[in-house]
């Protein structure tokens, strides 16, 4: 991938709202060149989507719970971990699934309304899968930083207004 494409990706990863016009100016391309780069990256599924980072703890009436579950599984002959991972990530409440090195195999992140709801999902859906050997669940108590963004950063500019 060429340098300009990577630069476009880095800009969009940092702020998906950056307009094509703005990106074009920043990376010194025409608007047409920039939009065709973005289009191509979308078609090739390099860019998979755009989401908004929200601090839900500030939204009243939205007290959700997030858990990270360490899952040990028995890999299935021929398809390894992929088939089990798919059985898990198809559930809409599952937000992320990663194959891990180390003490367990899959790291599953799941969101629910209450701890009880997550508990039900684990005991009824996750642990009952044939390949799943064991699960260890960790509930997230507070989010400090997510995807490179600090949640309560405070003042963003500490400089005085005019300096030589």
Partner 1 sequence: MKLGGTQSYETYLSDTVKQLKPSGIRRFFDLASKMEHVISLGVGEPDFVTPWNVIEASYHSLERGYTAYTANAGLIELRVEIKNYLEKFFDVDYDAEEEILITVGASQAIDLALRAIVNPGDEVIIVEPSFVSYGPSVSLAGGVPVSINTRSENEFKLQPDELEKSITSKTKAIILCNPNNPTGTALTKVELEQIAQLIDKHDLVVLSDEIYAELTYDYNPTSFSSIEKMRERTILISGFSKAFAMTGWRLGFAVGPKEIIRSMLKIHQYTMMCAPTMAQHGALEALRNGRESINQMKQSYRQRRNYMVKSFNEIGLSCDLPGGAFYVFPSIKETGLTSEQFAEQLLVSEQVAVVPGNVFGESGEGHIRCSYAASMEKLQEAMNRIEKFINNL
Interacting residues with partner 1 (CB under 8 A)? 7, 10-11, 15, 18, 22, 25-28, 156-164
Report how far apart, in Å, the C-alpha atoms of 149 and of each of 20, 55, 62 are.
23, 11, 21
Residues 6+ apart with CB under 8 A from 62: 56
Closest approach, Cβ 157 to partner 1, in A, equals 7
Angle, helices 31-43/20-27, rounded to nearest 10 degrees: 110
**130 versus 155: smaller Cβ distance to partner 1:** 155
Closest approach, Cβ 23 to partner 1, in A, equals 9
**3 versus 77: smaller Cβ distance to partner 1:** 3
**7 versus 70: smaller Cβ distance to partner 1:** 7
Long-range pairs of 36-40 with CB within 8 A, sequence gap ≥ 24: 37/4, 37/5, 37/8, 38/8, 38/12
Closest approach, Cβ 74 to partner 1, in A, equals 40
Q: Identify the residue whose tokens are 């090739």.
A: 44
Closest approach, Cβ 42 to partner 1, in A, equals 21
Closest approach, Cβ 146 to partner 1, in A, equals 17
Task: Give the Cα separation of 2 and 34 in Å (integer).
Answer: 13
Residue 40: CB atoms within 10 Å? 12
Kindly tell me the sign of the dihedral angle through the C-alpha atoms of 23, 28, 32, 33: negative
**34 versus 131: smaller Cβ distance to partner 1:** 34
**4 versus 125: smaller Cβ distance to partner 1:** 4
């Amino acid at each position: 991938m060429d340098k300009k494409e990577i630069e476009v990706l880095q800009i969009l990863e940092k702020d998906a709202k950056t307009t094509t016009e703005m990106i074009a100016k920043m990376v010194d391309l025409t608007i047409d060149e920039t939009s065709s780069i973005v289009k191509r990256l979308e078609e090739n599924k390099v860019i998979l989507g755009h989401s908004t980072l929200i601090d839900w703890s500030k939204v009243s009436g939205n007290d959700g719970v997030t858990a990270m579950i360490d899952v040990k599984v028995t890999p299935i002959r021929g398809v390894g971990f992929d088939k089990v991972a798919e059985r898990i990530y198809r559930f809409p409440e599952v937000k992320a699934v990663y194959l891990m090195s180390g003490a367990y195999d899959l790291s599953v992140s799941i969101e629910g309304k209450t701890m009880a709801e997550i508990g039900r999902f684990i005991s009824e859906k996750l642990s009952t899968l044939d390949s799943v050997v064991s699960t260890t669940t960790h509930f997230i108590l507070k989010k400090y930083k997510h995807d490179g963004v600090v949640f309560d950063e405070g003042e963003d500019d500490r400089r005085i207004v005019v300096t030589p």
